[in-house]
Amino acid sequence: MAGSFQYNSVDNAVGKLSKIQEYLDLGYSTALEIALDIEESNSTGESSPEVENLKKVTLEYAQMEQELNQWLNAAEMTKAAFQKEYKNVKDHSVPSIEDILMSKLNETDTTENDLQKHPKAKEFIKQVWNVNHGGQPLPTDQNETIDSDIIIAQASEESIICPLTQKQMVEPVRSKKCQHSYEKAGIIHHIRARQNRVRCPVAGCAHYVVEADLEPNSSLAFRIKRLQRKQ
């Protein structure tokens, strides 16, 4: 009985931690939004101290997200441990939930990760740079290896027009297979009308698209919303 009580308390904690992610996402998009506004009115060619501060804020959010994910992973591992290792053990020999959680936290320590490489931090750097330097390569520290993701991202700015509907997208989704994006309603209707599998509508792309491979393209959605507000 004690075991199942502890198990529920882990589930509750995971639910509360997941809420924090929503606040972090709001924080990220607010910081980016303000930084882009500042950058758009910045004609000095130098990076502004306000934008640098917002970048620091974004890195702090990235750090929090990393720690949050570490806790979530540890909580999931604790749950799994209860299900597997301690399921048939008599209550008195089960270690306390705190002990299990702390040992799982140590197993998932991620403090060595480079925050500058966090996807949200990269997104911030890329979007701010593109305001006044669209199409130009990002400057990099001489000692730093160039991040291939950023190079790919800036080599071609993603189109906001759906390759299927030929209209500006509202809810873009991306296929995990080929990384092309489409309007969600349009591509899903198209897939369902054709035996649940269609060739990617992007000219020259040989991949197939199925519903299970679709994921929201939130950075493209962010850019479209911003463009609409400016129109």
Residues binding Zn ion (CB under 5 A): 178, 180, 200, 202, 205, 207
Tell me the sheet residues that pair with 161.
168
Nearer to Zn ion by Cβ, of 20 and 205: the residue is 205
Cβ neighbours around 210 below 10 Å, total = 13
Nearer to Zn ion by Cβ, of 94 and 214: the residue is 214
Nearer to Zn ion by Cβ, of 185 and 205: the residue is 205
Bridging pattern class, strands 172-175 and 181-183: antiparallel
Compute the least distance from the CB of residue 214 to Zn ion, in Å: 12
How many Å apart are CA 187 and CA 197, to the nearest integer?
10
Compute the least distance from the CB of residue 178 to Zn ion, in Å: 3
Compute the least distance from the CB of residue 177 to Zn ion, in Å: 7
Compute the least distance from the CB of residue 78 to Zn ion, in Å: 40
CB 191 within 8 A of CB 210: yes
Nearer to Zn ion by Cβ, of 180 and 184: the residue is 180
CB 216 within 8 A of CB 173: yes
What's the maximum distance between 2 C-alpha atoms anywhere in the chain? 70
Nearer to Zn ion by Cβ, of 21 and 165: the residue is 165
How many Å apart are CA 57 and CA 206, to the nearest integer?
41
Compute the least distance from the CB of residue 184 to Zn ion, in Å: 15
How many Å apart are CA 193 and CA 174, to the nearest integer?
19
How many Å apart are CA 198 and CA 186, to the nearest integer?
12
